[in-house]
Structure 1
Amino acid sequence: MIETFKAGVRLVVGGVLVVASTLLHGTPLLALAVVKVLLPIATVRHLLTRILTRIAESWVGVNSVLMGSLGGTRIDAPSLDGLHRDGWYLVVCNHQSWVDIPVLQAVFNRRIPLLRFFLKQQLIWVPVLGLAWWALDFPFMKRYSKDVLTKRPELRGKDIEATRRACAKYRELPVAVMNFVEGTRFTPDKHVKQASPYRHLLLPRAGGIAFVLDAMGELIEAIVDVTIVYPAGKPSVADLFTGRVREVRVDVRVLPLPARGDYENDARHRQRFQAWLNALWQDKDDTCTRLGGSGSR
């Protein structure tokens, strides 16, 4: 009973502090985002992007402190030798819980560039968040379905061109692009439905990171392969603030880029790329086992 009460207090206090931090950081972030919209001058926008990034890193830093102090969460992660804040990286990770995101932010904040996620083009119209994502230079991806390409073959390749243009800003702005390769969070039902050959993981989706590498391959220095394991089982965000996530184990590997090619139109390259990713995922599954993974529970 007492432990339940303490957990409830931690949850309320944590929620209040997260909201307060969000307001503290979000207000100037959105104000500067509006300025960035109204002043389409390259040098001004570049300066504002750096300021906005520092605000976002501060917000992430506060959340990481709250995660450790209120929840008592200990993250066992290796040193990030070879990585730096001025690099260009593609970060790939297994996906078990929404807790993965604050864990990744805690591990990498101010050690590599701010993690940025590829977003669907339509998300730029999400109220408030769309403006914040745009201001922070999150890349918006425009992709066409197979049905659309069948009806309008002239659009083939346009999505890659649009993404390359969107990522042109990264030639001067170091970036760490984040991708959850499984495309969805792990659940036992999904694991069974996919007939996944991996013990702790769902099937990896090759198209997403192939698309990123096609659009940004000449910029990206390395792939940062991250494996997250929760020894006590998959947690919720509420568990994070109520002291139920005592330990998180994280493995980080820096890998060279696979051979580049035309994933959509070159069947042999597509086969090689998928074989590379499947081998990477088998290594990740073995890493989950070594770290004490509980993904299939």
Structure 2
Amino acid sequence: MLAKLPGPIRIPLALLLLAANILLHVLPLFALSLVKVVVPVHGIRLACSRMLVAIAESWIGVNNFLFGLFTRIRWQVEGLAGLRRDGNYLVLCNHQSWVDIPVLQKVFNRRVPFMRFFLKQQLIWVPLLGPAWWALDFPFMKRYSRETLLRHPELQGRDREATRQACAKFRHMPVSVMNFVEGTRFTPAKHDAQSSPYRHLLRPKAGGLAFVLDAMGDALHATLDVTIVYPEGRGTMMDLIAGRVHDIRVHVRELPIDATLVGSYDDDAAFRGRVKLWVNALWREKDARVAQMLMAADAAPVGE
């Protein structure tokens, strides 16, 4: 088992194979994307989209295999029964580390439709990965600070329109739309700065999920409430690759789409309040669940 190799050998070898996997999948992905852009025939473009997803799922599958070879992680995952590959899901999750993304990909790859994340606009410039995310129809969002919006009020609502445009594409294909509701990764400093009422979570932001529900509400058939816990503490991507992450616990809960949460978030104050109440209640339950998962991990026998 490669996880037993000495670190100076194991880590460079793991990085080399992960990089090779990127090239192996990104090159055909780019070639197929070019066909999709150049050929104006709807049927061909639809077929290209399906093939692009198959390439992406293969890419994730190989990554999962490599992490399994080079690491020794104790996985505890609950709530995967009944998930559908032909469904449309809104996936809501707490956010602690970049490790969350490979965790979500391992848990859901080929169990639900391919997940699209809302990404910061700057990430499109990441070599190889940025163009690959663009080719796979990941929505890129340009966030504006409060000061910028005060100086340029005409920029107000741009994120909402970008969300609508992205979701318009998703209405014609099975999709899982991923939303980190806190909007940023958890750190103690951010937690204190927000005066968060939750022990293990940042304050949730309701606007993003409200925009997705407004744009896709009738096309979505369920929400997946996902909670990720790292009992040893939040690690980095390098910690994951280097085998320093040993215990990952994931809880998945499927919830029906509440029709009362579909509406105009910007224009209806009563509706906005209703969505915020729903999200805050969800986050209180999630905070309690994180505490329970951590207690269970502490009580587990060593080596379980």
Same fold (TM over 0.5): yes
Alignment of 1:78-93 (within 5 A): 78-93=78-93
Question: What residue number does 1:109 align with?
Answer: 109
Q: Secondary structure at the match of 1:201?
A: coil
Question: What residue number does 2:29 align with?
Answer: 29
Whole-Å separation in 2 of the counterparts to 1:188 and 1:158:
31
Whole-Å separation in 1 of the counterparts to 2:41 and 2:143:
28
Question: What residue number does 1:248 align with?
Answer: 248
Between 1:241-250 and 1:197-206, the stretch displaced more is 241-250
Question: What residue number does 1:181 align with?
Answer: 181
Question: What residue number does 2:268 align with?
Answer: 266
Q: Name the CA shift for 1:150/1:79 in 2 (closer, same or farther; >3 Å).
A: closer
Deviation of 1:66 after TM superposition, in Å, equals 1.5
Contact 2:92/2:178, CA 8 A, preserved across alignment: yes
Q: Which runs of 5+ in 2 are unaligned?
A: 297-304
Whole-Å separation in 2 of the counterparts to 1:18 and 1:271:
45
Alignment of 1:193-208 (within 5 A): 193-208=193-208
Deviation of 1:101 after TM superposition, in Å, equals 0.5
Q: Name the CA shift for 1:140/1:185 in 2 (closer, same or farther; >3 Å).
A: closer
Alignment of 1:151-166 (within 5 A): 160=160, 163-166=163-166
Q: What amino acid sits opposite 1:18 in the alignment?
A: L
Whole-Å separation in 2 of the counterparts to 1:27 and 1:139:
21
Q: Secondary structure at the match of 1:13?
A: helix
CA RMSD for the aligned pairs? 2.7
Q: Secondary structure at the match of 1:182?
A: coil
Question: What residue number does 1:223 align with?
Answer: 223
Q: Secondary structure at the match of 2:250?
A: strand
Question: What residue number does 1:43 align with?
Answer: 43
Between 1:220-229 and 1:29-38, the stretch displaced more is 29-38
Q: Which runs of 5+ in 1 are unaligned?
A: none
State percent identity of aligned pairs.
58
Question: What residue number does 2:136 align with?
Answer: 136
Contact 1:217/1:260, CA 8 A, preserved across alignment: yes
Alignment of 1:226-241 (within 5 A): 226-241=226-241
Contact 2:87/2:175, CA 8 A, preserved across alignment: yes
Calculate the TM-score normalised by the size of structure 1.
0.88
**Residues 84-121 of structure 1: CA deviation (Å, up to 9, x unaligned):** 11111111111111111100000000000111012456
Deviation of 1:72 after TM superposition, in Å, equals 1.1
Calculate the TM-score normalised by the size of structure 2.
0.86
Aligned residues: 292
